[in-house]
Amino acid sequence: MKKLRIINKILAGLVIVAIFGLFVGIAYSYFVARLSGVETDKTIQGVTGYMEIEYDGGAEINVLDIAPSTEPFITKTFTVTGTNTTESELSYKILLIVDENTFGTDSLSYTLTSINTSNNGAVAPSITERQNINIFDKYLGTGKFVGKINEKIHTYELRLYFYETDYDQIAELDKTFRAHIEIKNDPYVLLKNAILAQGGGRTTLERKGNVPYFEISPEEGEYDSLGYYLAYEVYYDEISEYFSGDEWALGTDYIFNKNTGTFDLINYTFDNAITQDAEGKYVCWEENQVEDCEGITFIKTVEDNKFASGFDIYVEQVNRLKNPGDAGIYTAEDEYGTSFYYRGSKDHLNNNILFAGFQWKIVRINGDGSIRIIYNGTEKEFNQKREVNNYGHLAATTDVTYRWGSYVNDNKYLGYMYGGTDGVASTSREQAVTNQTSSYAKRQLDLWYERNILGTSYESKLADNLFCSDRQLYSEVYGSGIDPGYGSLETYYASYYRLDDLEEPSFKCAQKNDRFTVNDTEIGNGDLSYPIGLITADEVMFAGLEPWEETFYNYLHTGYSFWTMTPSEMYTDGYAYMWGVSSSGYFHTNYDLGTKAGLRPVLNLASTVKVVGDGSATNPFRVVD
């Protein structure tokens, strides 16, 4: 231990202050770190980048004949030099670690001068007013390098003071001060930057752009058998109606061909009415079979449902796996600027995040830098399984399934909010789209927000980005047809043609009245109480689901159905319909407002949110304070 013996103005002596530079390795989510040296080796090494630390005159500082003064008793210059082979940020933080300090609370102090020598990234801000040194470590600031760089330099000058005062400082004689500087990685990274880094950085992704839906083709020969979901529930007194005669075949087993994605039934017979003895066996029928129950695209199995009067029929689904090249991050414009969105198979994306006690899937970075996320279950489930949800009830809904509303026979009920009270028909387009009454779905989402977010620290992590309840009419965009848009009159909405016929999803929300926000009235309508909504049909299609097709591998598929907030049509049958996603990943417009489906809350995280983790299924991003 070296002691700093303070002599007053009159006395002189030998004083030594030792400041040692200690070095640790990068622990970034997209760096593989290692400790490459302590004191003698001044390099922080990572796979894609590294930083070198240099101290002027070496790590140890020797100071002689120090007395109280208005000048610093030592100025220590050090540089941080960054080299990076990717466009991801290379961040670090500077700490003054106080090992021992027996001086008075206000006796020692410091300032920091920061110089961005190479004009790259950002240096830790200068500290121009003297800050007292006590017994606690001092955080001096965070700097970062950006982009692909080679030996870019940040320079710092740390000044330490034993400041002269007008009172007697003799009490500071024979006191001890030991400290060292640590240059460490900043373990937390902005979520938006971590996402961009997955795609090679903002510039790379902007050059990549958007991939039109119709240009994406599946990879041949990549199939998988995905397990069961409930297809039919049949009671024994109805068996003859469903499963009798030579239409059905019952077998004891099957073979699955991964190259063709088809099943062959084994040891089967026709003319076999299905009875209780059929439990655990497999079924195909004439319309599904290619030839003698071989080469069929899906197969059924009979399972006992534990009820005395019946059994369940489950369907084992199979689907073509999208080319892994399809999975990734792409760009498209929204109302705020350039949006960066995830698309494709859950097995090839790292878009998982834990926030507010729940699991979420990241949908996209919005044009204002906020991040849109969709509910995927509870954090408790992740802690139990150590992996995010892929399939299952809790991955698809808050707790139960909901109708969009109690009324289904009016155009107005297609809105997230609408005009007039429930049960009273709208008589004009203006009345139907007035944002006066919350839909039942919105009321349930607001309750969820009140129970889980309101009044907590999580609120400060959210942004007021719009939710689009796109009520633009087909005729308003494409100029043909008559779409009144109120009452029970037949009406088609723009989304129907845009997604189903043109296959051109958009993040833009055409009408300000449909842009639901809380406080923002410049871009949005300001009609929300809380910043919560649902995913849009356009976002679903951008994510990789195809209208009128089943998509099992996509990151949005959970095995249970869920609502979007996008209207489709008011049909002649007297029912209003929304876009939705079924339990098999079937993306379609057949969700009348009385259908029960999951409500998956959607939130927007602020652009300033920081995280740890890498977004994978086993190491999801985790929002930090």
Which tens digits make up the pLDDT trace of 390-418? Answer: 765 444 454 456 778 788 889 999 999 99
CA distances to 16, 71, 174, 224, 355 from 19, in Å: 10, 18, 19, 61, 40
8 A C-beta contact, residue 294 and residue 304: no
Best CA proximity match to 585, nearest among 289, 366, 313, 315: 315
Would you call 459 helix, strand, or coil by DSSP?
A: helix
Amino acid at 518: V
Cα gap 623→558, rounded to integer Å = 23
Residue range 203-254, pLDDT digits in tens: 888 887 776 544 443 333 344 444 444 444 444 444 444 444 455 677 788 7
Listed by start position, the domains of the chain span 19-187, 223-320, 404-439+468-531+544-599
301 closest CA partner among 282, 276, 323, 326: 282
Higher local confidence (pLDDT), 386 or 402:
386
Burial of 176 (0-12, 13-18, 19+ CB in 10 A): middle
Q: Which of 117-131, 143-157, 335-349, 582-596 has the lowest mean pLDDT?
A: 582-596
Phi, psi of 218 (to 5 degrees): -75, 160
pLDDT per position as a tens digit, 495-518: 988 988 888 899 999 999 999 999
Tokens, residue 525? 């309508």
Amino acid at 91: S
Contact by Cβ (8 Å): 426, 444: no
Question: Comparing 133 with 364, which gets the higher pLDDT?
Answer: 364
Strand partners, 82: 51, 152
Does residue 404 contact residue 595 with C-beta atoms inside 8 Å? Answer: yes
The tokens of 404 are what? 């969009």
Strand ranges in 322-410 using DSSP code E only, listed in sequence order: 328-333, 338-343, 352-355, 358-365, 371-378, 401-402
DSSP 461: G
**Higher-confidence position of 251 and 603:** 603
| 3-state helix/strand/coil string of 201-228 | CHHHHHHHCCCCHHHCCCCCCCEEEEEE
Alpha-carbon span 113 to 69, nearest angstrom:
19
Q: How far is CA 343 from the centre of its chain?
A: 12
- The pLDDT score that the predictor gives to residue 222 is 46
Which pLDDT belongs to residue 35? 23
User: 45 pLDDT band (50/70/90 cuts)?
Assistant: very low
- How many Cα atoms occupy the beta-carbon half-sphere of 81 within 13 Å? 9
Alpha carbon distance 158, 181 (integer Å) = 10
Helices and strands, counts by H and E, the chain: 9, 36
Sheet holding 223-235, edge to edge: 223-235, 310-320, 299-304, 282-285, 248-257, 262-270, 294-296
